[in-house]
């Protein structure tokens, strides 16, 4: 999704570079289940914004990835153009077998409930939600509990970023060590119709390679345990 150098998939990324990413993943026995795309907005030009988003879709398809995750419009003044461009690209993305999603991130899309308004506004079944409970806490100023917020997103969840939160503003921690009640959030999302799609562990506690590897294993087991729980 990202690297120390920044975004891996941008409108400027070439198709050859994107294909190389797919090959590098395959060589390690991996697939790319979700790609976070850089901002596509072109100031003052909706036509160029649409063209840039289409290039993002092309690059994600070349990565062999089924989903392009977008960060949402960061400020109210660009919301209209941002989601107009998405609406214009939903059919094209579907033709390339790429699903478009946003996640709770900042400003106008800081919670699942706010994301739902924007998704309903676009009104296309190829534009849905990647739920991120840690971001709900962080970007709401820790005023919204994701356990409650998850009740607002029935029927629109296509994926999940498994991210925890520790007050006042820390999400760079291993899931299960912060305040998010993942068991309740995941059960609620599943009851609301989230039965397939990527479940991505986005953040872990920092440290050396051995520490990070141990944290990754711990987080994976935690998530697998929650997903195996029967729905009551």
pLDDT of residue 43: 84
| Whole-number pLDDT of residue 6 | 78
Q: Give residue 86's pLDDT.
A: 97
Q: What's the count of helices (H) and strands (E) in the chain, helices before strands?
A: 8, 8
Instruction: Report how far residue 130's alpha carbon sits from residue 134's, in angstroms, rounded to the nearest whole number.
Output: 12
- In the prediction, which pLDDT does 38 show? 81
Question: CA-to-CA distance for 143 and 32, rounded, in angstroms?
Answer: 33
State residue 182's pLDDT score: 95
Contacts of 13 (CB under 8 A, 6+ apart): 55, 59
What span, in angstroms and rounded, lies between the C-alpha atoms of 48 and 134?
33
Residues 6+ apart with CB under 8 A from 20: none
Average pLDDT of the chain is: 94
Instruction: Give this prediction's pTM.
Output: 0.95
pLDDT greater at residue 48 or residue 76? 48
Q: Who's near 170: CB < 8 A, 6+ residues apart?
A: 178
Instruction: Give residue 99's pLDDT.
Output: 98
pLDDT at 50: 97
The answer, yes or no, to whether residue 76 has pLDDT greater than 70, is yes
76-80: long-range contacts at Cβ-Cβ below 8 A with a sequence spacing of 24 or more?
76/107, 76/108, 78/41, 79/108, 79/118
Residues 28-45, mean pLDDT to the nearest whole number = 91
Taking 70 as the threshold, does the pLDDT of residue 1 lie above it? no
Averaged pLDDT for residues 30-43 = 91
Residue 2 confidence (pLDDT): 72
Q: How confident is the model at residue 231 (pLDDT cuts 50, 70, 90)?
A: confident
- Residue 232 reports pLDDT greater than 80: no
Q: What is the largest CA-CA distance in the chain?
A: 51
pLDDT digits (tens, 9 = 90+) for 128-161: 999 999 999 999 999 999 999 999 999 999 999 9
Peptide bond into 168 cis (omega under 30): yes
């Amino acid at each position: 999704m990202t690297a120390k150098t920044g975004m891996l998939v941008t409108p400027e990324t070439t198709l050859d570079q994107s294909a190389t990413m797919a090959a590098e993943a395959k060589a390690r026995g991996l697939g790319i289940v979700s790609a976070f795309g850089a901002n596509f907005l072109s100031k003052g030009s909706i036509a160029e914004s649409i063209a840039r988003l289409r290039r993002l879709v092309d690059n994600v398809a070349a990565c062999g990835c089924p989903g392009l995750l977008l960060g949402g419009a960061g400020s109210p003044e660009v919301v209209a153009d941002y989601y107009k461009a998405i609406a214009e690209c939903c059919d094209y993305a579907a033709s390339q077998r790429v699903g478009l999603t946003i996640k709770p991130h900042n400003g106008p899309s800081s919670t699942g409930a706010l994301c739902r308004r924007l998704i309903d506004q676009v009104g296309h079944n190829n534009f849905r939600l990647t739920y991120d409970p840690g971001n709900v806490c962080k970007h709401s100023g820790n005023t919204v509990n994701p356990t409650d917020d998850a009740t607002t997103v029935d029927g629109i969840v296509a994926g999940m970023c498994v991210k925890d939160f520790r007050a006042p503003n820390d999400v760079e921690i291993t899931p299960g060590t912060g305040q998010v009640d993942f068991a309740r959030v995941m059960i609620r999302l599943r009851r609301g119709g989230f039965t397939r799609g990527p479940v991505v562990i986005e953040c872990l506690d920092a440290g050396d390679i051995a520490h990070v590897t141990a944290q990754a294993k711990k987080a994976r087991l935690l998530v697998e345990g929650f997903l195996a729980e029967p729905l009551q």
